[in-house]
Amino acid sequence: MAAHSQPGRPNQLFRNLNSKIASIPMILTAVVIFLGGTIWTVTYSFTNSKLLPRLNFVGFEQYERLWDTPRWIVSIQNLATYGCLSLIFSLTIGFLLAALMDQKIRFENTFRTIFLYPFALSFIVTGLVWQWLLNPEFGVQSVVRSLGWTSFTFDPLYNSDIVIYGILLAALWQGTGLVMCLMLAGLRGIDEDIWKAARVDGIPMWKTYLFIVIPMMRPVFVTTLVLITSGIVRVYDLVVAQTSGGPGIASDVPAKYVYDYMFFAQNLGQGFAASSMMLLAIAIVIIPWAYLEFGGRKRG
């Protein structure tokens, strides 16, 4: 006897009805905004929309033009440099700080508060502070020169070749505290007995970190990596505040390119194509991770 043929079974649609009603905002957000909005933008990236979105398909024309635009190439190069260095430095510095914090030190809370407070500040505030610190007339450069080293030059925000490092400096100041916190949580999550065993076996501390602890922290590293990466692709406010993309277009980034083409240059098609490229970049990172995290095993 099949169960569904039995009388009195409530309609499946009305089961858990309250839960479904309560989830309507989530469903709308997920389906209409996240899924629908993405599909919409990608679709319109194949049109020649200018001031208003129009469904006049032109194939890959926008993408061809995009990759022919020097400004886009600069912003992609900037993103690549900034992204790679930002990943390497924030992971290294974050882990080193966390390892230092994990030495059963005194004033741990004070140090943590100091390292993490920039994370509470906005990118705008961060950008403006570092704009001031790196001001060649009054900032670090002038202070060092006034100490006697008159030829000292450190003006990243006014030098197109190194401007992206100036932004990196500010970004690391803002974000490494978070990485440190995540790493510290990961270190604290490691069984005390591992340390005891390593000590009894006479393994030096740095070796224990390198060969035992770091491999055990793989999940933390992966999560941190994903978080940093998604932040990197989004970087926008910081550049706007610190350099407004300058000097010239030297510190432009894709997010700024998209914004300018959508809202100033009145070339929506370009903006959509550029944002679709950003989506592609994210997808390359996220999809393998999401597959490992959600696809491989059933999550509680």
* Residues 165-224 contacting another protein, CB under 8 A: 173, 177-178, 181-182, 185-186, 220, 223-224
Position 18 contacts another protein (CB under 8 A): yes
User: Per CB under 8 A, which of residues 218..277 are in contact with another protein?
Assistant: 220, 223-224, 226-227, 230, 233-234, 236-237, 240-241, 244, 254-255, 258-259, 262-263, 268, 271-272, 274-276
**Cβ nearer to another protein, comparing 74 with 272:** 272
The footprint of another protein on residues 54-93 (CB under 8 A) is none
By beta-carbon proximity to another protein, the closer residue of 104 and 161 is: 104
Closer Cβ to another protein, 140 or 162, answer by number: 140
- Identified binder of another protein from the candidate list 97, 98, 163, 171, rule CB under 8 A: 97
- CB nearer to another protein: give 31 or 88: 31
Count of residues near another protein by CB under 8 A: 107
The contact mask relative to another protein for 23-42 (x = CB under 8 A, - = no) is x-xxx-xxxxxxxxxx-xxx
C-alpha–C-alpha distance, residues 60 and 102, integer Å? 53
The residue among 164 and 258 lying less far from another protein, judged by its C-beta, is 258
CB nearer to another protein: give 58 or 143: 143
Which of 119, 103, 54 is CA-nearest to residue 266?
Answer: 54
Least Å distance, CB 108 to another protein, is 10
Give the interface segment with another protein, choosing from 55-63, 69-77, 79-87, 111-119 (CB under 8 A).
111-119
**Beta carbon nearer to another protein, 85 or 226:** 226
* Residue among 123, 157, 166, 252 that touches another protein (CB under 8 A): 123
**CB of 30 vs another protein, minimal distance in Å:** 4
Binding-site member from 85, 162, 225, 279 for another protein (CB under 8 A): 279
Q: What is the DSSP string of the chain?
A: --GGGSTTPPPGGGTTHHHHHHTHHHHHIIIIIIIIHHHHHHHHTTB--SSS----B-TTHHHHHHHH-HHHHHHHHHHHHHHHHHHHHHHHHHHHHHHHHTTT-TTHHHHHHHHHHHHHS-HHHHHHHHHHHT-TTTSHHHHHHHTT-TT----GGG-TTTHHHHHHHHHHHHHHHHHHHHHHHHHHTS-HHHHHHHHHTT--HHHIIIIIIHHHTHHHHHHHHHHHHHHHHH--HHHHHHTTT-STTTT--HHHHHHHHHHTS--HHHHHHHHHHHHHHHHHHHHHHHIIIIISS---
Nearer to another protein, 125 or 212 (CB): 125
Query: Is there a contact between 142 and 133 (Cβ–Cβ < 8 Å)?
Result: no
Q: Which of 110, 107, 98 is nearest to 224 (CA)?
A: 98
Structural tokens at position 192: 């005390």
For position 282 contacting another protein by CB under 8 A, the verdict is yes
Q: Measured from the CB of residue 169, what is the shortest distance to another protein in angstroms?
A: 10
